[in-house]
Structure 1
């Protein structure tokens, strides 16, 4: 199953016999102390016709705490939100955001991890859409999706540490955060010992769309992530890392997500921290 869809392909799918459910997951990371980004207000100003707004902080994550800034959502809350949005197991889903792709990828990952068979991300997000936008609030028919998680797709802190030693653990954050030169959000800078720096922003072109699959395969091969290898990804709070898992999927490489990521890892001062450009 393809992981992404172009705007042209989406326009065609929406006129087909089984049009996809559309989820608008606009969200932005803001600096500490700054007002949070209001995705619901952005949705109200204009969205894909029929799309339903999904709140990342309230429906795709639990409250921040010792398990990180965006821990896994309560599955009952997540499932209810998806059903309210019209998500059913027998109907495809397309998720999009404002163009960065991170929050859409978080929704994509959660739906795939919990068993939905057909979910894709709009490549390039809302800016790639050339059709009309709507200001109407969608009222979809209640869906029937029931989350059924796959344990194989999820890493905890111990699993991430083990994978950094035995497989390939990619750090999707900016290189300066990986190296420990700056840390604007979490308790301390640096990376999980053994993790490889792989900023997710390098998986897309200037237009925000993913690089071709062959280019992504080449990039990940250079980082040690190839088909058949055990691969995992983390970031600051499990959002941009989902975007890297999506890029890996485009390249045909399955990967697990450490949802707690660096914000959970550094919440425990006893966990080791590496700094500098080298994994160790």
Structure 2
């Protein structure tokens, strides 16, 4: 992939809207401490943007044994994308307001399902200087069709726990969680042995994706539950570096007491 396949600038999106070119905009507000972003969306969102729930539409919580945010099926992604108005031949722009986590997850899931021309708004909501709308957007149903029903074998590479263990592997969590000093969410602190720490926030500069990451691919990426790992994968993809997500991430890894755990730097 190239940068233009992954990211879109606020200026480019604004020009598209001003000239009336078709585009589907998805608002994917999500934070660890505030997973439901609908209230924030209704208080102010990009013109025409439709709200997407990361917890309910980009995750399948009925799946067991695959971490806190298991991937949804392609068919469920197709049904949701049609509700959002995603159409054939029309680009989709995803954005969020917290460290690109929600938009990167949406970019990864939709792309893995085989939906083309999905891009992340670089800089997120804070980089947008145009007008905002309030309330909820109702849109005409889309007609998009997914190519892959099983995202664990979809259009983007993923790793199993066994494959993640063989490395090379990047851990996208905060340094203190990587070192095992704190663990606010999962029952075990630490990291997968052999992994190197590349926090998802470190691939951003003032909310925008950095163009100067020094990472050679292919490489695997994990985090707590597969969400912020997508930020690192998107950043690397924008530089043409191949990276695979370990979807279950630490939440899956540490659920098996037979798997080794490393601590420290």
* TM-score, reference length from structure 1: 0.86
Instruction: Sort the Cα spacing of 1:139 and 1:201 in 2 relative to 1 into closer, same or farther, 3 A.
Output: same
Whether the 8 Å contact between 1:18 and 1:91 is mirrored in structure 2 is no
Instruction: Sort the Cα spacing of 1:87 and 1:174 in 2 relative to 1 into closer, same or farther, 3 A.
Output: same
For 1:44 and 1:137, how far apart are their aligned partners in 2? 6
Structure 1 residue ranges without an equivalent (≥5): 31-35, 221-225
Matched, 1:179 2:171: no
For 1:4 and 1:272, how far apart are their aligned partners in 2? 37
For 1:88 and 1:154, how far apart are their aligned partners in 2? 26
**Residue by residue, what CA displacement relative to the aligned partner does 1:236-266 show, whole Å, maximum 9, x if unpaired?**
0111100000110122102111111000111
Q: Secondary structure at the match of 1:154?
A: coil
1:85 Cα deviation after fit? 0.5
For 1:152 and 1:47, how far apart are their aligned partners in 2? 29
Name the Cα RMSD after superposition.
1.6
Structure 2 residue ranges without an equivalent (≥5): 149-153
For 1:172 and 1:73, how far apart are their aligned partners in 2? 21
1:38 Cα deviation after fit? 3.3
Number of residue pairs matched by the alignment = 256
Whether the 8 Å contact between 1:106 and 1:242 is mirrored in structure 2 is yes
Query: Corresponding residue for 1:137?
Result: 136
Matches within 5 A, 1:183-202: 183-202=183-202
Matched, 1:231 2:219: yes
Query: Corresponding residue for 1:159?
Result: 163
For 1:124 and 1:132, how far apart are their aligned partners in 2? 16
Query: Corresponding residue for 1:270?
Result: 258
1:89 Cα deviation after fit? 3.3
Whether the 8 Å contact between 1:86 and 1:142 is mirrored in structure 2 is yes
1:52 Cα deviation after fit? 0.3
1:235 Cα deviation after fit? 0.2
Q: Secondary structure at the match of 1:155?
A: coil
Query: Corresponding residue for 2:151?
Result: none
Query: Corresponding residue for 1:255?
Result: 243
Q: Secondary structure at the match of 1:120?
A: strand
For 1:232 and 1:153, how far apart are their aligned partners in 2? 9
**Residue by residue, what CA displacement relative to the aligned partner does 1:93-131 show, whole Å, maximum 9, x if unpaired?**
000011421111000011111112211111111111111
Query: Corresponding residue for 2:18?
Result: 15
For 1:151 and 1:46, how far apart are their aligned partners in 2? 33
* TM-score, reference length from structure 2: 0.91
Instruction: Sort the Cα spacing of 1:48 and 1:151 in 2 relative to 1 into closer, same or farther, 3 A.
Output: closer
For 2:19 and 2:81, how far apart are their aligned partners in 1? 22
For 1:240 and 1:25, how far apart are their aligned partners in 2? 13
Query: Corresponding residue for 1:169?
Result: 169
Whether the 8 Å contact between 2:42 and 2:134 is mirrored in structure 1 is yes
